[in-house]
Amino acid sequence: MRGQPETARPVKRHPTIATCGLDCGLCPRFYTAGKSRCPGCAGPGFFEKHPSCSFITCCASNRHLEACGECAEFPCGKFKSAAEYRATESTSYPPARKILPNQRFIRRNGIKRFLARQAQQMKLLALLLAEYDDGRSRSFYCRTVGLGDPAAIRGAMARAAKTIAREHIAKNDRSSRARILKALLERRVSS
């Protein structure tokens, strides 16, 4: 697809969910400033940074769908088993183990309900990044929000806020704030 004008390429309405099911809206590169920022799956400018993939070609280009979970043929042979996704997963984000659950959620509930749920997760992530990012924690927070329970994350944030207030840690001391919250999240939320 490289070399085609941008208008000839599929541009999804909702690039925060990849056609394959990866959670682009919770990926650190989605929140990166500068040239390494990813616009999400088939989002504006995507093809200048990434080659197309068979999921985008089949789902977005040929079927005009946002995610494979909307397709009557899901799951097709393009997908691995859940065990294979878990076995190949690295510590980076987005976690592959969310691919099938995301697609199944879309299949059962529709893309709009998935996007509403994801918007809440993105809002929580934005709060974590605004209040507790020390410049080295973005991937950790993205993974935590992507895999963790939002109520548990909010609970850890409330406990961190109490500790920060008790220890009189300044708002601009991002390193200390991140250290306190990450310790709570690692113990109670992350998987």
pTM of the model: 0.86
Residue 7 has pLDDT above 80, yes or no: no
**Both ends of the chain: CA-CA distance in Å?**
37
Domain residue limits, the chain: 6-188
- What does the pLDDT look like over 81-128, one tens digit per residue? 777 777 776 656 667 888 899 999 999 999 999 999 999 999 999 999
Mean pLDDT of the chain: 87
> Cα separation of 33 and 103, whole Å?
28
CB atoms within 10 A of CB 127: 15
- What does the pLDDT look like over 39-65, one tens digit per residue? 999 888 888 887 778 899 899 889 999
- What does the pLDDT look like over 22-32, one tens digit per residue? 999 999 989 98
Q: Token pair of 67, please?
A: 């995610």
Residue 6 has pLDDT above 60, yes or no: no
> Cα separation of 96 and 88, whole Å?
8
* Exposed / middle / buried, residue 80 (Cβ in 10 Å: 0-12, 13-18, 19+): middle
Residues 6+ away with beta carbon under 8 Å from 40: 12, 15, 16, 18, 24, 25, 30, 46
